[in-house]
């Protein structure tokens, strides 16, 4: 493992940054996309059963709760749907960074590969064994590290996108149910 990290050379810094940022974003978004945090069953069930008045101010800590409170303030129809879209856009924050990491990590690995291979061709003659070892090590290490970052980040990004889709549909149902309510 030590050889792998040393072999990556200067590219270990941006790759390490990508790795840490990916882990942070995955954990933070996984916590943010919990159904209990976005659209708790108590709020959704109260709306679906026509008991919107039972939803209190404490529900404002969730997206669904904030939408119910806005509905109680008189926001109806397209205005309520606009609020729901705004809440969903807020939920998506950070996802573009995760997608960028999925794309950038293998490219950084490829850049390390090209840099390592380019160092193998000195201006005069064949490279010595130390240069050859260092160049091949950089090429292989950066490629492997870049892929080891990108593949789990891609899987996590797809999983998070699916979670976001699930909570979005739950919010859509809530908004439609609120629109059907009569005050």
- Total tally of structural domains belonging to the chain: 1
CA 104 to chain CA mean position, Å: 14
Residue 173 corresponds to which tokens in the numbers above? 């149902």
- CA–CA dist 32, 60 (Å, integer): 15
- What pLDDT, in 10s, does the model give residues 43-102? 999 999 988 888 877 777 899 999 999 998 888 899 999 999 999 999 999 999 999 999
The two tokens of residue 150 are 């990108």
Please write the tens of the pLDDT for every residue from 125-168: 677 777 777 777 777 888 899 999 999 999 999 999 999 999 99
| Residue 126: domain span | 2-180
φ/ψ of 69, rounded to 5, equals -65, -40
State how far the alpha carbon of 79 is from the alpha carbons of 70, 73, 76, 88, 123, in Å.
Answer: 10, 12, 6, 14, 68
Query: pTM score, two decimals?
Result: 0.84
pLDDT for the residue numbered 86: 96
Residue 128 confidence (pLDDT): 76
What the block records as the tokens of 71 is 């509905």
CA angle, residues 10, 16, 21, in degrees to nearest 5? 145
């Amino acid at each position: 493992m030590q050889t792998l990290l040393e072999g990556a050379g200067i590219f270990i810094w941006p790759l390490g940054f990508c790795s840490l940022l990916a882990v942070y974003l995955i954990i933070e978004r996984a916590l943010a996309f919990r159904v209990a945090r976005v659209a708790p069953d108590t709020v959704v069930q109260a709306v679906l059963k026509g008991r919107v008045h039972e939803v209190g101010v404490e529900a404002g800590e969730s997206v669904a709760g904030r939408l119910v409170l806005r509905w109680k303030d008189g926001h109806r129809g397209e205005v309520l749907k606009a609020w729901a879209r705004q809440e969903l856009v807020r939920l998506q924050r950070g996802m573009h960074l995760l997608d960028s990491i999925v794309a950038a990590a293998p490219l950084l690995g490829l850049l390390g590969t090209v840099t390592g291979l380019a160092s193998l061709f000195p201006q005069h003659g064949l490279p010595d064994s130390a240069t050859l070892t260092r160049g091949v090590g950089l090429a292989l290490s950066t490629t492997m590290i870049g892929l080891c970052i990108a593949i789990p980040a891609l899987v996590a990004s797809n999983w998070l996108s699916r979670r976001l889709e699930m909570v979005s549909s739950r919010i859509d149902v809530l908004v439609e149910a609120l629109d059907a309510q009569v005050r």
